[in-house]
Amino acid sequence: MKTGIKPTWLILLLACTFGCTGKSGQVGKTSFPSRPAAIAGEPKIVKAVFYIENSESMFGYVSNITEYVEVIAELAEMPEFIKDRVPREFNFINGTDPVITPVRNDASVLKSKLNRAGFNCGDITKSNLNGMFQVALKNAGNGIISVLISDGLYDIGGAGVTSLVTEGRGTRSQFINRLMTGDLQTIIIKLRSRFDGKYFYSSRRGAATISGIRPYYIWIIGESRLLNRYFPNEYIPEKLKGYENMVRFVKPGTAGVPYQATADHSVGTFKFDREVINRLNDAKSDSHGQGFQFSIAVDYSGLPYPDSFLSSPENYRVSSNYTITGIQKPAGKVHSVAFNPTHLITVKTMKYPAGKLVVSLVSNIPGWVRTTGTVTEDHISQDSTHTYGFGYLINGIVEAYESVSENKSIAAFEIDIH
């Protein structure tokens, strides 16, 4: 977040200072565990590295024992971290370069510095969000996860929307560069907290004094197998006080989801091919004009998405002349399927049924992201929801994940119909 001193344009020059005293056939395989479990051989985090922005206008979040303070305290001492003896490294981060101020690797020391005096280190007059991303991304991977906590504001020195476009592209570049070297998942969490301090404008010079509620964000970056285990969907809203929403970005094409065509909910007739799975022969529409319909059994147990996302037809693309008529959990065992499906995707056409059908699960930007971003700060003192330029930031991340893979979908199910 900016403090109204100077515009920041540099991407990163890392400077460390020590202040603050411190499927059958086409069935794929997935490596995502769905819930943490302390069993032998399960992957563990090698180290969790925290980067907590402490530019001057973040001081309002630590004016008291706020929700922000409680969330950092919770993450610093997550039960799974303690049980698995995960080493944790805590850092404050601010400045143009940016400046990193290490805090001793002790959660109790970190918690003692979550106040105005503890935040007063490094270069509190400036910030560089893209520089923070570069640091966090560079250090994530090989068993290490990065946790970046910030208000998500670009410091553009009052330069306006044109600079937001530039900064958004900078974010995209940071993520592309890192994603080209490996599979990383990014979790973005939106939270709200009491805030009592100065808000420094991005779109113009000056500051506003705010005593109320302001949003902030957490980025958790690391290998999917680790983030899925340590940060399951149920943990984040249950344990992080002030939670509002979240989204996960997974590199397209990296998750193998088992799938198979079935006769469940079928309309019309067809025969399963005896040698090629997911090929339907002699497909014919219903003789009473009800069209042609069947279901695809899929196993989503390895994907890190809530059922609300997986069960929404809006998150799918369907080729050919087919549409999705329903997505539901199986009522019982699905006949002739070698795996345990979590969902049945029912597809239908009123036209000639033959052809190649592809049903793809895609990573749509959730509605809360679109409504969070704003390009005005005119009424920021009364605004507890919006973040200036947030849409450009998220678009940069989305475009990065899409650009590093030929397959733009999270998972795709291909059925040959003859």
Over the stretch 250-289, which tens digit does the pLDDT of each residue have? 887 666 899 999 999 999 999 999 999 999 999 999 999 9
Closest CA to 219 of 207, 229, 201, 231: 231
Q: Give yes or no: residues 173 and 83 share one domain.
A: yes
Within-domain flag for 10: no
Instruction: Determine, yes or no, domain membership for 1.
Output: no
Residue 90 has pLDDT above 80, yes or no: yes
Assigned token pair, 329: 């959990």
19 shares its domain with 56: yes
Instruction: Judge residue 35's burial from the number of C-beta atoms within 10 Å of its C-beta, 0-12 exposed, 13-18 middle, 19 or more buried.
Output: exposed
pLDDT of residue 367: 87
> Domain for residue 217, yes or no?
yes
Distance (Å, whole) CA 335 – CA 236: 36
Under 8 Å between Cβ of 202 and 372:
no
pLDDT above 70 covers a percentage of the chain that reads 89
- Assess whether 178 and 159 both reside in one domain: yes
Average pLDDT, rounded, for the chain: 88
Sheet holding 316-318, edge to edge: 269-272, 279-284, 411-417, 355-361, 316-318
Q: List, in order, residues 6 or more apart from 107 with CB less than 8 Å away.
A: 73, 76, 77, 88, 90
> Quick one: 351 and 373 in the same domain?
no
pLDDT value, residue 15: 31
- Residues 289, 244, single domain; the answer is no
Other C-beta atoms within 10 Å of 50: how many? 24
| pLDDT at residue 195 in the model | 98
Average pLDDT over residues 152-166: 85
Whether 392 maps to a domain, the answer reads: yes
Q: So what's the pLDDT on residue 156?
A: 84
Q: What does the block give as tokens for 126?
A: 């400036």
Q: Looking at the structure, do residues 202 and 337 belong to the same domain, yes or no? A: no
> Looking at 35-49, 77-91, 205-219, 373-387, which range is the least confident one?
35-49
Spatial CA neighbour of 380 closest among 119, 60, 159, 55: 60
Residue with the bigger pLDDT between 143 and 364: it is 143
Share of the chain above pLDDT 90, in %: 74
pLDDT of 409 reads: 86
Both 237 and 129 in a single domain? Answer: yes
Give pLDDT, residue 5. Answer: 40
| Integer Cα distance of 197 and 414 in angstroms | 55
* Same-domain pairing of 200 and 214: yes
Does any domain span residue 8? no
User: Tokens at residue 268, please?
Assistant: 């019309």
Name the DSSP letter for residue 314: G
| Whether residue 157 sits in one domain with residue 55 | yes
Are 36 and 110 part of one and the same domain?
A: yes
Is 178 a member of any domain?
yes
55: nearest Cα among 105, 6, 108: 6
Q: Let me know if residue 94 belongs to a domain.
A: yes
- Residue 104's domain comprises 15-252+367-403
Q: Do residues 48 and 194 share a domain?
A: yes
Instruction: Please report, in angstroms and rounded to a whole number, the separation of the first and last CA atoms in the chain.
Output: 58
Q: What pLDDT is attached to residue 402?
A: 84
In a domain, 271, yes or no: yes
- Please state the domain count of the chain: 2
Do both 299 and 315 map to the same domain? Answer: yes
- Residue in 46, 180, 202, 123 with CA at minimum distance from that of residue 132: 123
